[in-house]
Structure 1
Amino acid sequence: MHLRELQERAIRIHDLYDELNRRERNRAWTREEFMLGFVGDVGDLAKLVMAEEGAREMPGGREALEHELADCLWSVLILAYRYDVNLGAAFERTMDELDQAISTRLSADPS
């Protein structure tokens, strides 16, 4: 899947969550609540990475790790959507900046 397809799929799920939350709670999540959900997902991901590295016990194994990575990607895509960020352009720009900064440091005379 390409980024645009991922974004479109993420937005469809976002819209379903909005509909569900309106039905069950009479309101949709705010941008801040999406961010808090993302923080929770990152915490879960951290625990699963630690488990994958043998530093802690965590049920679910590889499948749970894949699920949390997908949850985190979904959250990033939705936050970009909710804040009207062109994620593809921002990613390209950031990678160009990092490429330049790292290449400059690597090519610097170490003496």
Structure 2
Amino acid sequence: MDLDELRRRALRIHDLYDELNLQESGRVWTREEFVLGFMGDVGDLAKQVLVQEGARSVRPDSQAALEHELADCLWSVLILAHRYGIDLESAFVRTMGELEKTISARLDP
């Protein structure tokens, strides 16, 4: 699945959440609420990393939980990019290019 397919799938889930939120609370999430949700996802991801590294008790489904949290975080990033009108693919390519130049310039020749 490429980035466009991931984005389309993420937007479908976003739209379903909008429908559900409208039905349950009469409104959809704001961009600020999406950021807060993302922060929660990152916190959940951090907990799963601690499980993987042995700093928290391991559960039988720990690998699946880590996969789930990584997917949640990716979903949030895709949705935030959409909600802010960011071309994530271009931004990623540009940012990685800048980082590569910066890091390479700091490495010993």
Residue 106 of structure 1 deviates from its aligned partner by 1.0
Question: Matched residues in 1 for 2:58 and 2:12: separation?
Answer: 31
Q: Where in structure 2 are there 5+ consecutive unaligned residues?
A: none
* Fraction of identical pairs, as percent: 66
Indicate the residue corresponding to 1:77 in structure 2. 78
Which one has a bigger Cα radius of gyration? Answer: 1
Partner of 1:41: 41
TM-score norm. by structure 1 comes to 0.94
Q: Contact 1:48–1:58 at 8 Å: present in 2 too?
A: no
**Matches of 2:47 and 2:32, distance apart in 1:** 23
Residue 20 of structure 1 corresponds to which residue in structure 2?
A: 20
Instruction: Give the aligned partner of residue 86 of structure 1.
Output: 87
Distance 1:22 1:5 in 2: 26
Q: Which amino acid aligns with 2:81?
A: A
Q: Is the 8 A contact 1:18 1:29 kept in 2?
A: yes
Residue 63 of structure 1: aligned partner: 64
- In the superposition, relative to structure 1, how do residues 94 and 56 fare at CA in structure 2: closer, same or farther (>3 Å)? same
Kept in 2, the 8 Å contact 1:38–1:75? The answer is yes
How much has 1:15 moved relative to structure 2?
A: 0.4
Runs of 4+ in 1 over 3 A off after TM superposition: none
- Work out the CA distance in 2 between the residues paired with 1:9 and 1:22: 20
